[in-house]
Amino acid sequence: MFKMKRAVEQAEESETDLLDKPTSLWRGAGRRLLRRKGGMVGVGIIGFMLLVALFAPLIAPYGPNDVLIGKEDVKKREPPCIHLLGCDPEKPQHIMGTDGNVRDEFSRVVYGSRVSLFVGFTTVAVALVVGSVLGAVSGFWGGATDNIIMRMMDVVLGFPALLLAIAIVAVLGPGIRNTLLAISIVSIPAYARVTRAGVLGIKELDYVAASQALGASKIRILWTRVMPNALTPLIVIATLGIATAILDAAAFGFLGLGAQPPTAEWGAMLASERNNILSAPHLLFFPGIAIMITVLGFNLFGDGLRDALDPSLNE
Amino acid sequence: MTANGAVLDVRDLRTHFHTREGVVRAVDGVDFSVRPGEVLGLVGESGCGKSVTSLSIMGLVPKPGRVESGEIMFNGRDVLTMSKRQVQDLRGEHISMIFQQPTSALNPVARVGDQISEVYKIHRDLKKKVGKKSAIEMLERVGIPDPDRRAASHPHEFSGGMAQRVMIAMALALEPEILIADEPTTALDVTIQAQILDVMRELQRESGTAVILITHDLGVVAEMCDRVAVMYAGRIVEETDVATLFADPRHPYTRGLIGSVPVLGRITDELATIPGVVPNLMDVPAGCRFADRCEERVPAGLEICTSEEPDLFAVGDDHVARCWLYTEKISP
């Protein structure tokens, strides 16, 4: 009897030991992310880009649309002139040179980050909200609702994404806002499908049944039980989706369907100077590099997140 | 309350699953009643319909299952004729349930304290602060040390026994009239089992909640229950108080069950078993469902067993058994 009691006490003790510090799932994920070099490089790049976009007026020496002809001693499409690297101190400094309209290329690249990040974040936000709600409703209610929503998604998926987006812009007219809308619409199905898949699995789990047994309504179960648990893969594809959206927006700008002149937008900047690639390569190099680095940053961050949010990889 | 003073009265409940292969009669005519404050054990082997019975009472039978007929009278109102909304309000407040796997029955992304106070939010519309205070009180009552701090923990930081305590706290937060416990200790190790049963009994006595304890563990039954209903192949085959059941089991199936529990200290080469297997619930045989496996049918010379199903016959005071051994009506 005495032995038994001791065993019980010991069991209790070890149980309390186990539960020592309350930690959240997110804190664990954050710690794992910190340990991933690629992910941290991504975080660094994204952080840098956000700062650049936020403080663009302080960083850029000129306005993005300031035509400098007549104000300074510059010609159009001048190569970069950096005083530190031995450029004639008499000449005004343009670290990325000037473009075809005698505007400071560096200022335009800096301001361009605002457009790209804005497009990236807003399109993904819109697509994520609409897509995940559609997917969740579809997976949770099932039946005819599921069929109608998912067949609509299949129709959208049936078209090549960029082509459909171009068609939407062609109907609505070019411009940033319509580009946003078009890219959002074509990326909705991806989020809807991922959410639906997650919801289908989660709604069979014990804690959903348990909350039903406590008298929770379907909506409450969907919001407090199902959605938060289906969120992990969504965060990852949303991060990677930002990269795609930025690339798409640049493509739209390049095709002349997105941002309209004189807006400083990386894709549009590439397009307007593409005929001068041999005489003024810097005008294609710098906006191109800016696109590449930003997209790389989001991709690295997305990959890092995917690993960090998978607790089975916990070392 | 119903005529016989029961808080829950289940009559001729039939819950069938309509699968592609055919109709599975998981619950096929179950009658029992639960009196206020008592612990009723629902005993039987896997697949005999215990869990489906409890899900039917909760109105949570999963597809393609459906309650075909019968009535479930809760405090004089038939749960089966209520609207979805009314049943939903019943759950958690008047009838609660705890499950076999406590660690997977908690929402992994929410703090434990919040999950308990959610019950108050759903049914009482209490403010978050008040709910949180009540939640911590409940954690203390189920014996969780340091409840203030534990309330801020996530379920993955709880062991099975602790998680089951949390489930009990949630289920009993609003002092329901009935708690359905579906194999609450099966997933836990033995020392923790005893603790959980103690907590359940203590809280059950304090709040006067009646418990339907679903289990296949006769030891748990002996320890916890006031009355026992034995289920076999979708039907109740014997029902009586717990002392009588162990002292004087009447149905051959009950005798087999009790006989197959190994006795501590008695040395045997082989464990006693009941021969044969449970009948296919898609194609239930005519007559007594246990006839094939019954070891008393042939010695007793009963022919009727394979052709006609017995009713629940009174075999004593508050003791019924579904067996032809206990009736005068032998010839068909």
B240 domain residue, yes or no: no
CB contact under 8 A, A228 and B191: no
pTM: 0.77
pLDDT of residue A1: 45
**Domain stop point among B235, B263, B289:** B235
Q: Are residues B192 and B286 in the same domain?
A: no
In degrees rounded to 5, what are phi and psi of residue B136?
Answer: -65, -40
Q: Are residues B229 and B260 in the same domain?
A: no
Q: Are residues B267 and B223 in the same domain?
A: no
Name the residue among B1, B10, B57 with its Cα closest to residue B32: B10
CB contact under 8 A, B106 and A210: yes
- The band of B332, judged by pLDDT with boundaries at 50, 70 and 90, is very low
B247 domain residue, yes or no: no
Considering only CB atoms, A213 lies closest to which of B92, B104, B149, namely B92
Least confident of A18-27, A80-89, A171-180, A226-235: A18-27
B279 domain residue, yes or no: yes
Q: Are residues B104 and B167 in the same domain?
A: yes
**b/e for B238-254, b at 16 or more Cβ within 10 A?**
bbbbbebbbeebbbbbb
Beta partners for residue B17, in sequence order = B24, B65
pLDDT of residue B4: 64
Taking 60 as the threshold, does the pLDDT of residue B3 lie above it? no
Calculate how close chain B gets to A17, using CA atoms only, in Å. 10
CB contact under 8 A, A215 and B122: yes
Angle at CA of residue B166, ends B164 and B168, nearest 5°: 70
User: At B182, which CATH number?
Assistant: 3.40.50.300
pLDDT of residue B63: 82
- The band of A250, judged by pLDDT with boundaries at 50, 70 and 90, is confident
Contacting residues of B for A9, CB less than 8 Å apart: none
B18 domain residue, yes or no: yes
Q: Are residues B23 and B164 in the same domain?
A: yes
Average confidence (pLDDT) over B34-38: 91
CA separation for the pair A194, A139 (Å, rounded)? 10
B3 domain residue, yes or no: no
B210-238 pLDDT tens trace: 999 999 888 889 989 999 999 998 899 99
A151 and A141 Cβ atoms separated by less than 8 Å: no
Taking 70 as the threshold, does the pLDDT of residue A117 lie above it? yes
**Domain stop point among B235, B269, B298:** B235
Q: Are residues B173 and B226 in the same domain?
A: yes
Secondary-structure percent of chain A, ordered helix, strand, coil, rounded to 5: 75, 0, 25
Contacting residues of A for B152, CB less than 8 Å apart: 22
Strands (E), B164-318: 178-182, 210-215, 227-232, 235-241, 313-316
B42 and B211 Cβ atoms separated by less than 8 Å: no
B83 domain residue, yes or no: yes
Q: Are residues B209 and B268 in the same domain?
A: no
pLDDT of residue A315: 44
CA separation for the pair B27, A166 (Å, rounded)? 59
pLDDT of residue A17: 40
The DSSP letter of residue B251 is S
For residue A202, the chain B residue with the least C-alpha distance is B107
CB contact under 8 A, B89 and A24: no
Cα-based torsion angle of the residue sequence A114, A120, A125, A131 in order, rounded to the nearest 10 degrees: 160
- The band of A16, judged by pLDDT with boundaries at 50, 70 and 90, is very low
A286 and A105 Cβ atoms separated by less than 8 Å: yes
- The band of A313, judged by pLDDT with boundaries at 50, 70 and 90, is low
CB contact under 8 A, A19 and B153: yes
B35 and B243 Cβ atoms separated by less than 8 Å: no
pLDDT of residue B128: 77
Taking 50 as the threshold, does the pLDDT of residue B330 lie above it? no
pLDDT of residue A20: 40
- The band of B301, judged by pLDDT with boundaries at 50, 70 and 90, is confident
B78 domain residue, yes or no: yes
**Domain stop point among B202, B235, B268:** B235
For residue A9, the chain B residue with the least C-alpha distance is B191
Beta partners for residue B231, in sequence order = B236
pLDDT of residue A19: 40
With a cut of 0.90, is the ipTM above it? no
CB contact under 8 A, B149 and A225: no
CA separation for the pair A175, A185 (Å, rounded)? 16
What are the structural domains of chain A?
53-310 (1.10.3720.10)
Q: Is A217 on the interface with B (CB under 8 A)?
A: yes
What would the DSSP string read from start to end of B13-32? EEEEEE-SS-EEEEEEEEEE
Other residues' Cβ atoms within 10 Å of the Cβ of residue A187: 26
The DSSP letter of residue A224 is I
Number of H helices, E strands in chain B: 11, 12
In A90-109, the residues whose Cβ lies within 8 Å of chain B are none
Q: Are residues B229 and B263 in the same domain?
A: no
- The band of A24, judged by pLDDT with boundaries at 50, 70 and 90, is low
Contacting residues of B for A214, CB less than 8 Å apart: 91-92, 96, 118-119, 122, 170-171
A197 and A139 Cβ atoms separated by less than 8 Å: yes
Q: Is B152 on the interface with A (CB under 8 A)?
A: yes
CA separation for the pair A269, A104 (Å, rounded)? 12
CA separation for the pair A78, A75 (Å, rounded)? 6
Print the domain residue range for B41: 8-235
pLDDT, chain A, mean: 84
CB contact under 8 A, A19 and B167: no
Least confident of A48-62, B36-50, B317-331: B317-331
CB contact under 8 A, B118 and A217: no
Angle at CA of residue A36, ends A30 and A37, nearest 5°: 130
Instruction: Indicate the number of domains in chain B.
Output: 2
Q: B136: Cβ–Cβ under 8 A, 6 or more apart, which residues?
A: B113, B147, B148, B151
pLDDT of residue B328: 59
Average confidence (pLDDT) over A103-110: 90
Bridge-based pairing state of the strands B8-18 and B65-74: antiparallel
For residue B174, the chain A residue with the least C-alpha distance is A214
Structure tokens at B106: 């908690």
B22 and B279 Cβ atoms separated by less than 8 Å: no
**b/e for A163-178, b at 16 or more Cβ within 10 A?**
ebbbebbeeeebbbeb
Structure tokens at A64: 């993005």
CA separation for the pair A44, A287 (Å, rounded)? 19
CA separation for the pair B109, A231 (Å, rounded)? 10
Q: Are residues B113 and B161 in the same domain?
A: yes
Cα-based torsion angle of the residue sequence A229, B115, B130, B159 in order, rounded to the nearest 10 degrees: -130
Contacting residues of A for B60, CB less than 8 Å apart: 209, 212-213
pLDDT of residue A21: 43
Q: Is B60 on the interface with A (CB under 8 A)?
A: yes
H/E segment holding residue B87:
helix B84-90
pLDDT of residue A277: 87
B241-275 pLDDT tens trace: 999 999 989 898 998 888 888 887 877 777 788 88
Determine the distance from the C-alpha atom of residue A116 to the mean position of all C-alpha atoms in its chain, rounded to a whole number.
10
CB contact under 8 A, B122 and A216: yes
CA atoms within 13 A on the CB side of A23: 13
Number of H helices, E strands in chain A: 13, 0
Name the residue among A310, A290, A238, A289 with its Cα closest to residue A115: A290
Calculate how close chain A gets to B289, using CA atoms only, in Å. 31
B221 domain residue, yes or no: yes
Interface size A-B, in CB pairs within 8 Å, comes to 99
Calculate how close chain B gets to A260, using CA atoms only, in Å. 45
Q: How far is CA A171 from CA A164, A178, A181, in A?
A: 11, 9, 12
Q: Are residues B41 and B75 in the same domain?
A: yes
B116-174 pLDDT tens trace: 988 888 888 877 788 888 889 999 988 888 888 888 888 888 888 899 999 999 999 88
Structure tokens at B80: 């089966």
CB contact under 8 A, B191 and A8: yes
Percent of chain A with pLDDT over 90: 29
pLDDT of residue B239: 92
pLDDT of residue A15: 43
A287 and A116 Cβ atoms separated by less than 8 Å: no
Contacting residues of A for B149, CB less than 8 Å apart: 22
Q: Are residues B226 and B285 in the same domain?
A: no
Q: Are residues B211 and B293 in the same domain?
A: no
Q: Is A312 on the interface with B (CB under 8 A)?
A: no
Considering only CB atoms, A18 lies closest to which of B90, B99, B159, namely B159
